[in-house]
Amino acid sequence: MLMDVGAGFLRLLPAETAHRATVRLLRTVSPLIPRASTDDPRLAIHLWGKRFANPIGLAAGFDKDAEVPDAMLKLGLGFVECGTVTPRPQSGNPRPRLFRLVEDRAVINRMGFNNQGMARAVQRLGARKRRGIVGINIGANKNSQDRIADYVMAFEILAPLADYVTLNISSPNTPGLRGLQNRDELQRLLDAVIGERARIRAGVPILVKLAPDLDEAAMDDIAQAVRASQIDGLILTNTTVVRPITLRSAYKGESGGLSGKPLFTRSTDVLAAMYRRLDGALPIIGAGGISSGTDAYAKIRKGASLVQLYSALAFEGPGLIGRIKTELSALLVRDGFASVAEAVGAAFR
């Protein structure tokens, strides 16, 4: 309850100021946060040799520098993804660069991978007791001369400290980054990172985060590249550069990636399309526009084994996590599913 009251106050501040204040508050009160109650066993799912107590995760972008993963886990999340972390520190794009579209329950950001670099993330991740599932999202520096080398370097250093590693090749806020989704470049990237995993003998799962702005041909190419590789999963999707005509906020014309409720339909469509292209052979984390148990369930039925949220937390506060889990449990019971795993891809059966 206290955290939800605090969230209400923070929403009165400018968006980026509120975000930084939230992270600082969580760092301060983390030892005082009681662990959430035990989850309904129906919500548990096993992936990559790990047991997720529930399928609700925190998307990358909130905890860029791995400052508060354990505090967020205490709030009842099944897993947390830190980052995006780049090899070298960078300040990101000029402010203002984060905007709440309150009327649309949406956010636009053009942060530009602002983070303290992998060395600081290593310090923090190395100091934690590794209770709970924490992934790390990695990217390339804006001024890098060899972006694939950046991913390999970050993977080498961070993989031993993470439960999974996500290759973020879909942020719209680093010029040219989305070019890594092109088939040849994607194949080069996957070969390089998978080769590094073999070299350092790490068993950590590798995931790729894709954009929602892919056409049918691009999805076909990506599916072929993914099938030919040894990656372990996809995250669908990142933010969109498309602006639905339904947006009402005065900030709707700001450049950057749009997240939140207006992204839900498109991100879920891409999720379903990729699930079908891959015949359900690869676990997918569904992200984009989740603000209820109904939303989470829709993505699960379309092929997501896990889901992630972020923007909705900015509007609803941490109490949203428990509400989503309660609603999701009820939906599983209603439809006769004994577990989340049974419901994955149910829309296509």
Going by the DSSP 8-state scheme, the letter that residue 345 receives in this structure is T
Q: Which of 144, 171, 229, 329 is catalytic?
A: 171
Distance CA 257, CA 243 (A): 9
Q: Closest Cα to residue 93, out of 111, 75, 79, 80?
A: 111
CA atoms within 13 A on the CB side of 40: 20
Distance CA 203, CA 200 (A): 9
Distance CA 169, CA 140 (A): 9
DSSP code string of 253-299 = T--SEEEEGGGHHHHHHHHHHHHHHTTT-S-EEEESS--SHHHHHHH
Judge whether 171 counts as a catalytic residue. Answer: yes
Q: Within a 10 A sphere around the Cβ of 152, how many other Cβ atoms?
A: 20
| Torsion of Cα atoms, 106 then 325 then 132 then 61, to 10° | 0
Cβ neighbours for 192, distance < 8 A, ≥ 6 positions apart = 148, 149, 151, 152
Between helix 183-199 and helix 216-228 the angle, nearest 10°, is 20
Q: Report phi then psi at 207, rounded to 5.
A: -120, 155
> What residues are annotated to the active site?
171
